Amino acid sequence: MQGVGTSFDGESDTNFSAGMDIKYGLSDSFTLDATLIPDFGQAAFDEVRLNLGPFEQTFGENRQFFVEGIELFNKGDIFFSRRVGNAPTGSVGPLEENERIVEQPSKVNLLNALKISGRTKEKLGVGFFNAITERTFASIEDTLTGERREVLIEPLANYNIFVLDQQWNDNSSISLINTNVLRNGNFRDANVTALAFDVADKANTFRTSGRVVVSNVNEGNGFKTGLRTEFDIFKTKGKFRYRFGHDLANTTLDINDLGLNFRNNFNNFVVGGSYQIFEPTETFNFYRINLTVRHRRLYEPDVQTGNSIFTNAFFVTPERFAFGVDASYNTESDDYFEPRVAGRFLTYPSNYGFGGFVSSDFRKKFAYDLNLGYRKWDAEQQYRYNINLSPRYRFTDNFLVVWSTNYSKNENNFGWIFNDDNGIIIGQRDLTNIENSLTASYNFDPYKAIDLRFRNFWSTANHSDNVYWMLNDDGSRTRTDYDLENRDPDTNFNIWNLDLSFRWRFAPGSEATLLYRNQIFNQTDLASLNYSESLDALFDQPVQHTLSLRITYFVDVSNFGNWF
């Protein structure tokens, strides 16, 4: 059960919820996990960033039910658990002249979920997953009459996964995975099936892996079928190793109802090699040198989009000091996604970059990570550099503090700004990012601990050079004037999150967690503000304070007979 109190901009709200988690051993090999009316309010916050690209921003899974025991469901790489309870798939539709959106939920509530998984003595893995999310409505208000109407933006939805995974020879497997999403009413439904394999010889010298994915999506006007294939051959034994691979997806591939793919329509080739040692020398405990070359094409039409070469080296000394370097070169490339219009592309010039890192011995009380990077675009005045420093200090075996600061600057970057009937507008901008984070943990004993997690991310996109282009059909750009009344592209983005929690394991499998969270967010078009000025503006915004107490109590059903 969980109690939550929230305060934001002078308004307070209190909620109480109770749910149930079940873990039941169906046999020596199979386990049932279920959750009823779960509340994930204490899940770690997402590390939100300013997103200027054409693809959605995604985050890692922080909900415990979707973190534990899901290895089998990840076979085939078509399951992205954040889809369950994600944003609604529908929209409010056109509004009347005097209407406004009063409330539009950003996520869908999960009613229940269960997973059954295990492996037989014959090494056959079987997994079943099911989840149901509730109906979700947006609220629309007539500003003249005050009347409100509700619009269904996500119906009752059912999510299913079924997995079969057969292992043999201790190093080979073949898997069949199916995901299915059914939404009640005239909403989008989807079905995706994948066949994945990973086969090695008995000596584990060579390995081949791949998958075939078929997607079927029905948006009310018939099914749209998509296809993706992957095939790789590896040499996996010896100091010198290599890889050959091919990835293909047609224009209609879409697994995003219960999976994740940012793009389709590609036909890519890769070849790579590496050299590494396995026995320590006087100078190094370990080192590895890699080289990878990629050739990228569209599936339809069959045209080249770009080539790249990447190399890196990683070294570890006997004193546990690690360091590495990397370098890469990209040829001129055509981006078919940045313009946000089907069939159009934006050409980026060739570019090169290099970087490196050092990492000290984490066994010592004080340790650190340092990363540096630089990239320059040919035939442009565009360049980017970044630096990340992350020191850590272990005061005692019970108390560890880790700080991280990341700074990056991209001068004369360019990208999509606006589409209208006249064409596609591309703008030149300077991008600046500063991210600071702190994690600290103090363990009183094996049962009680305090955890602190803080993050502040600031980013600006500054178009003060007033340089804009009209995108041509051949991917090139022609200088043009741009009216800021269409859309001011300047952005100042600042977000602050802080979590402070106390955890107490008061009984086997049982835990109480008291969490305090505050968060602030501000986004404006004042891109000329510096970091300090932006922080001042951020702290002028209302702060959302949340205090929650979550108690999880484990009941062993095998003791029911003894109780009675």
Spatial distance between the Cα atoms of 154 and 137, rounded to a whole number of angstroms: 7
What is the average pLDDT across 265-291? Answer: 97
Q: What share of the chain is helix, strand, coil (3-state, %, to 5)?
A: 5, 60, 35
Look at residue 308 in the predicted model and tell me its pLDDT.
98
Look at residue 430 in the predicted model and tell me its pLDDT.
97
Mean residue pLDDT of the chain comes to: 93
Spatial distance between the Cα atoms of 564 and 542, rounded to a whole number of angstroms: 53
| SS3 of 372-391 | EEEEEECCCCCEEEEEEEEE
Buried b (16+ CB within 10 A) or exposed e, 240-278: ebebebebbbbebbbbbbbbebeebbbbbebebebeeee
Neighbours of 134 (CB within 10 A): 15
What is the average pLDDT across 185-204? Answer: 94
Residue type, 171: N
Look at residue 249 in the predicted model and tell me its pLDDT.
98
Look at residue 558 in the predicted model and tell me its pLDDT.
62
Spatial distance between the Cα atoms of 229 and 426, rounded to a whole number of angstroms: 34
Spatial distance between the Cα atoms of 42 and 516, rounded to a whole number of angstroms: 9
Spatial distance between the Cα atoms of 81 and 68, rounded to a whole number of angstroms: 12
| Residue-wise pLDDT tens digits, 40-57 | 878 889 999 999 999 999
What are the CA-CA distances from residue 479 to residues 335, 372, 464, 467, 468 (Å)?
A: 19, 34, 15, 7, 6
Burial of 124 (0-12, 13-18, 19+ CB in 10 A): middle
Instruction: Check: CB of residue 3 under 8 Å from CB of residue 16.
Output: yes
Both tokens assigned to 256: 């995003």
Look at residue 508 in the predicted model and tell me its pLDDT.
87
Q: Is residue 20 scored above 90 in pLDDT?
A: no
Look at residue 224 in the predicted model and tell me its pLDDT.
95
Both tokens assigned to 236: 């996996």
Q: What is the DSSP track for 502-544?
A: EEEEEETTEEEEEEEEEEEEEEES-TT--HHHHHHHHHTSPPE
| Residue-wise pLDDT tens digits, 502-544 | 999 999 888 999 999 999 999 999 999 999 999 999 999 999 9
Residues above pLDDT 70, as percent of the chain:
98
Token pair 């997995």: residue: 163
Look at residue 357 in the predicted model and tell me its pLDDT.
98
Q: In the structure, what pLDDT confidence band is assigned to residue 91 with cuts at 50, 70 and 90?
A: confident
Q: What is the DSSP letter of 106?
A: S
What is the average pLDDT across 224-236? Answer: 97
| Residue-wise pLDDT tens digits, 238-255 | 999 999 999 999 999 999
What is the average pLDDT across 196-216? Answer: 96
Q: In the structure, what pLDDT confidence band is assigned to residue 560 with cuts at 50, 70 and 90?
A: low
Q: What is the DSSP letter of 90?
A: -
Q: In the structure, what pLDDT confidence band is assigned to residue 185 with cuts at 50, 70 and 90?
A: confident
Long-range contacts for 219-226 (Cβ within 8 Å, ≥24 apart)?
219/188, 220/186, 220/187, 220/188, 224/252, 224/254, 225/252, 226/250, 226/251, 226/252, 226/253, 226/254, 226/255, 226/264
What is the average pLDDT across 60-78? Answer: 93
Instruction: Check: CB of residue 226 under 8 Å from CB of residue 254.
Output: yes
Buried b (16+ CB within 10 A) or exposed e, 184-213: eeebbbbbbbbebbbebeeeeeebebbbeb
What is the average pLDDT across 489-504? Answer: 96
Look at residue 564 in the predicted model and tell me its pLDDT.
47
Q: Is residue 562 scored above 70 in pLDDT?
A: no
| Residue-wise pLDDT tens digits, 302-351 | 999 999 999 999 999 999 999 999 999 999 999 999 999 999 999 999 99
Neighbours of 506 (CB within 10 A): 12
β-bridge mates for residue 285, sequence order: none
Q: Is residue 486 scored above 90 in pLDDT?
A: no
Q: In the structure, what pLDDT confidence band is assigned to residue 1 with cuts at 50, 70 and 90?
A: low
Q: In the structure, what pLDDT confidence band is assigned to residue 170 with cuts at 50, 70 and 90?
A: confident
Q: In the structure, what pLDDT confidence band is assigned to residue 5 with cuts at 50, 70 and 90?
A: confident
What is the average pLDDT across 424-450? Answer: 96
What is the average pLDDT across 263-281? Answer: 96
What is the average pLDDT across 543-553? Answer: 91
Q: In the structure, what pLDDT confidence band is assigned to residue 275 with cuts at 50, 70 and 90?
A: very high
Q: Is residue 9 scored above 80 in pLDDT?
A: no
| Residue-wise pLDDT tens digits, 373-409 | 999 999 888 999 999 999 999 999 999 999 999 999 9
Instruction: Check: CB of residue 385 under 8 Å from CB of residue 363.
Output: no
Look at residue 4 in the predicted model and tell me its pLDDT.
79
